[in-house]
Chain A
Amino acid sequence: MSSTNYDYLDGNAAAGELSKVFAVDITTAEGRCGECGTTKCLAEAHLYMHGPGLVARCPACEHVLLRLVNVREHMFLDVRGMTYLRLDTSRSEEAS
């Protein structure tokens, strides 16, 4: 079952939403897909954001890497689909 619908964006498009809660841009972080092991930046994920929430999927196997839902003043975040996210802390103390 493959898709020929090009209704997804890049993980880059989630950067605005994620900036509400993360001080660093996690879309440049490398993540490893928990299903197939593909390792890429979150910005390279296939991003579906037209529905009740945002879903980032592995570009290789479409496994759900990350899900995000805004509920009023809270954000629900599920990152279980990634074995890890590798975040760069070297610039975290610089002024943006």
Chain B
Amino acid sequence: MGTISRGFFGRRTVADVKLPPGQYLTTDFPVLSAGPTPHIALEKWEFTIDDGTNVLRRWNWKSFRELPTENVTVDLHCVTRWSKLGTHWEGVSLDTILGEIESDAEYAMVRSYGDYITNLPLADLRNKQAWIAFRFDDEDLAPEHGGPARLLVPHLYLWKSAKWVRGIRLMHEDQPGFWESLGYHDYGDPWREQRYSGDE
């Protein structure tokens, strides 16, 4: 540990709530990114589900916004150690998106505009665990936070909630995404503190 700096406490907030191990509570909403913010015109936006060979489903912004939506309040846990509790989102449940798709694929690679990808088990996108979110705090999702739409899968570390989402590729075998290929955990459960590959 470094030399203690007299009188320094940082921006953290003391809270009575239980946070995942190693996390600090924050009240702002840090913008973290691995690349430039894409700006996608709504008339060009698409979301597709494919299996690596064929496109199984495709929505444009109009057809996407005709899908039923949900309002959810969830906690966010970023692997860089900040947690933001009680965030409000509106989005389309992945149960709706994946609803009619029949596949024996067990894994998904979530793909974003830009070059970001992240992997997770398909089962973690189902059962009311994930949304394609397009509104945050009662406003259209801002580009720096992933707008027009991002994945929201709050039971995993926030790097799995891919910003600027453009589609999901169904896979039979797990493959590591952008951060998973460079030392981060393939699954990423904050409550078991699965930050890095090899963490139990």
Residues of A within 8 A of B (CB): 1-5, 7-8, 46, 48, 50-53, 55, 57, 62, 64, 67, 69, 71-72, 74, 76, 78
Contacts and interface: CB of A to CB of B under 8 A. Distances in A.
Contact of B30 (A50, A71, A76): A50
Contacts of B72: none
Interface in B165-187: 179, 181-184
A1 B113 contact: yes
B137 interface: no
A57 to B, nearest CB: 6
B144 A52 contact: no
6 contacts: A1-B114, A5-B143, A46-B36, A51-B34, A52-B179, A52-B184
Interface stretch (B3-11, B37-45, B49-57): B37-45
Contact of A76 (B31, B114, B183): B183
A69 B137 CA distance: 32
A50 B31 contact: yes
A62 B182 contact: no
Contacts of B197: 71
Interface of B: 30-40, 79-80, 113-115, 143-144, 159, 179, 181-184, 196-197
Contacts of B40: 1
Contacts of A7: 31, 33, 37, 144
Contacts of A69: 179, 182-184
A3 B36 contact: yes
B79 to A, nearest CB: 5
B76 to A, nearest CB: 14
Contacts of B35: 48, 55, 57, 62, 64
A51 B114 CA distance: 15
Given A50-B32, A52-B32, A52-B80, A5 B179 contact: no
Given A50-B31, A50-B32, A3 B196 contact: no
Given A1-B113, A3-B39, A51-B80, A76 B34 contact: no
A62 B36 contact: yes
A54 to B, nearest CB: 9
A18 B34 CA distance: 17
A51 B182 contact: no
Nearest to A72: B196
A78 to B, nearest CB: 6
Given A53-B34, A55-B35, A62-B36, A78 B196 contact: no
A57 B32 CA distance: 15
B37 A5 contact: yes
